Chain A
Amino acid sequence: MKLQKATRCALFAILELASGHDRQLSANEIAEKYGISTNHLAKVLRSLGRVGLVEAVRGAGGGYRFSGNRRRTTLLDIIQLFETIDPIRNGEREDGDDTAEGKGLCQVLMEIEDTARATFASITLDTMIKLVDKNR
C-alpha cells in the first residue's frame, strides 16, 4: 500500500511536532529532515491548521506546534484529510464492477480496505510515536 505525497508530509510533520511537549519547528526544519518541498509542506501544514491539529506560532523563532490530542488522534484522522483509503467501500466504481467477476474482485479489495482502515483507525499518535522511538 502506498500513501500519497501530501499524506506522508502531513504524517511526518505531525509526528515531528507531536513528539515533544510544546515542540516548535519551522516548515523548513521539517522539510529538510524528510527531504520534501517546503512549499508543499506549508500547504499541508495549513490544512492541518484548519482542523486544529497544528497552530502557527508568529514572531521571531516562530514555526508550528502540535495542538491536538496525541492519545485521541489516530493515523486515520490525518490520512482522511488528504485521501480516501477505502474508495470501494465509499462507493467508487470502475468499469466492469457490475459483472460477476467485478463484484468478486470488489469483495476481495474491500476486505483489504477494511483491514487497512481498522489498522490506521487503531493507531494513535501516541502509539505511533512509541513505535518510532523503538526504531531509533
Chain B
Amino acid sequence: MANPHARQSERKYSVRLARATDIPQVIAIDTENTALPKAEYWEDLFERYNSRPTELDDDTQPKSVKRYRFFLVACDGDTVLGFIIGEVRAWEFGSPPCGWIFAIGVRAGTRQGGVGHILLEALNERFRKAGVNKVRTMLARDDTLIMSFFRSQGMMAGPFIQLEKDL
C-alpha cells in the first residue's frame, strides 16, 4: 500500500552537514529502522566525521582528513528526516579513489517522499567536488528494501565480490 506521505516528494527539504544536536534524532531513526539502539556508535561517527571547529561554515572544507568525510542530514525545520554517511576511500583492493556510502536511514513515516534521493544526490555532489566519479556501497543480500532504493537510483552490481569465513 502506498505511503500516505508519498506526495511529499514535491516538498523541499534542506540537506546539510549533521550537527551535534541532530545526533539524538539520528539515533532515534536508526533505532526505529533496525531495532538496535547504538548511541555510542553514532556519537563516535559524528566525532570522526563531522565534528569541526565552530568557525567553519558548512561549505568550508576542513584541512584534516575530514574533508573527505560527509555525515549529512535532511531536515524539515528542526526535524531530522533522514541521514547519510559516506567518505572518499582510495586504493582499497586496488580501487582508485571512489565515494563509499556506509549508512543511510530515513524516518519510516516519510519513506517514498524523496528524502533518500535528495540525501544521496547531496552526497554524490560532495563526492564529485572531492574529485571522484564513482560511488559504491555494500548491502546485506536480503535487505531488499535498501537494495531496491539504491537500484532505483541507478546503482548496479560492481566488479567487487565480498567474501567471508567463520573464524
Contact = CB atoms under 8 A, between A and B. Distances in A.
Interface of A: 69, 71, 74, 114-115, 118-119, 121-124, 126-127, 130
B141 A126 contact: no
A71 B1 CA distance: 10
B142 A118 contact: yes
B96 interface: no
A121 B139 CA distance: 14
Contacts of B151: 122-124, 127
B154 A130 contact: yes
A114 B141 contact: yes
Nearest to A134: B154
Contact of B152 (A69, A118, A119, A124): A124
**Which 3 pairs between the two chains have the least Cβ-Cβ distance?**
A122-B147, A118-B141, A127-B152
A71 B141 CA distance: 19
Given A115-B141, A119-B157, A74 B147 contact: no
Contacts of A124: 148, 151-152
B144 A121 contact: yes
Interface residues of B, number: 11
Contacts of A74: 144, 148
Which secondary structure dominates where chain B touches chain A?
A: loop
Nearest to A124: B148
Interface centre among A69, A122, A126, A127 (most CB of B within 10 A): A122
Interface in B108-167: 112, 141-142, 144, 147-148, 151-152, 154, 157
28 contacts: A69-B2, A71-B112, A74-B144, A74-B148, A114-B141, A115-B141, A118-B141, A118-B142, A118-B144, A118-B147, A119-B157, A121-B144, A121-B147, A122-B144, A122-B147, A122-B148, A122-B151, A123-B148, A123-B151, A124-B148, A124-B151, A124-B152, A126-B152, A127-B148, A127-B151, A127-B152, A130-B152, A130-B154
Contacts of A126: 152
Nearest to A118: B141
A121 B151 CA distance: 11
Contacts of B141: 114-115, 118
Nearest to A115: B141
